């Protein structure tokens, strides 16, 4: 799995860039309607899930399981969001919380399996996901605006961590294959 991650360093970087862009949009336009947020979140979840699945292709069976599960989880969330865009705000809040917690656990497990010095970045991104999910789950009455802000900050920090990890893997690739 380590070799697959090194060869696909750019996938993690793209995930990071998408996270950063999503975070910026959420923070700059917090008054966006809940329906628009739902659709953007659905698109982000599908693309992020597809990129996680792409990361798993060609890896060892032990390590790729976490990326496959993360990819399936993200794609499933995106499909649910597109199928039911009119779900209530409260339901959306709990769906976001559950997705963040489950994805975070899978990211932490994958981060602990990577045999590189900066693998803690993936585990830290996973921990951030879990903390975000727990905060959202225990404060559903905070309203859509608070969720947009939390989601924006989370996506921004997660994106930066994934981007740093992607470039770290790229530097390892250049060092190992030069």
pLDDT digits (tens, 9 = 90+) for 54-75: 888 876 666 688 889 999 999 9
Where residue 30 falls among pLDDT bands split at 50, 70, 90? confident
Q: Write the burial class of residue 127 (CB in 10 Å: 0-12 exposed, 13-18 middle, 19+ buried).
A: middle
pLDDT of the residue at 89:
62
Give the Cα separation of 54 and 11 in Å (integer): 8
Give the Cα separation of 107 and 120 in Å (integer): 10
pLDDT of the residue at 153:
92
Q: Are 104 and 126 in contact (CB under 8 A)?
A: yes
pLDDT of the residue at 128:
92
Give the Cα separation of 13 and 161 in Å (integer): 9
Model pTM score: 0.57
Return the DSSP state at 105: H
Q: Of 49, 63, 50, 51, nearest to 4 (Cα)? A: 63
- Give me the mean pLDDT over the 148-176 stretch: 87
Q: Is residue 165 over pLDDT 80?
A: yes
- Give me the mean pLDDT over the 40-64 stretch: 83
Per residue in 116-158, pLDDT (tens digit) is 777 788 899 999 999 988 988 888 766 567 777 888 899 999 9
Half-sphere exposure at residue 35, Cβ-oriented, CA atoms within 13 angstroms: 4
pLDDT of the residue at 14:
93
- Cα-based distances in Å from 48 to 18, 42, 146: 8, 10, 23
Q: Is residue 105 over pLDDT 90?
A: yes
Sorted by where each begins, the domain ranges of the chain are 2-177
pLDDT of the residue at 62:
64
pLDDT of the residue at 95:
83
């Amino acid at each position: 799995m380590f070799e697959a991650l090194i060869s696909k360093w750019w996938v993690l970087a793209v995930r990071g860039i998408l996270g950063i862009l999503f975070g910026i949009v959420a923070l700059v336009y917090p008054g966006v309607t809940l329906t628009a947020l739902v659709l953007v979140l659905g698109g982000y979840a599908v693309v992020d899930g597809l990129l996680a699945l792409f990361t798993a292709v060609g890896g060892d069976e032990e390590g790729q399981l976490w990326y496959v599960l993360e990819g399936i989880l993200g794609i499933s969330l995106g499909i649910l969001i597109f199928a039911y865009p009119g779900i209530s705000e409260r339901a959306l809040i709990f769906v976001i919380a559950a997705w963040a917690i489950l994805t975070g656990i899978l990211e932490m497990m994958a981060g602990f399996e990577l045999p590189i010095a900066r693998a803690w970045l993936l585990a830290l991104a996973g921990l951030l996901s879990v903390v975000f999910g727990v905060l959202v789950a225990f404060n559903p009455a905070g309203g859509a605006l608070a969720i947009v802000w939390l989601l924006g900050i989370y996506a921004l920090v997660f994106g930066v961590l994934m981007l740093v990890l992607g470039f770290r893997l790229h530097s390892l690739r250049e060092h190992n294959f030069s």
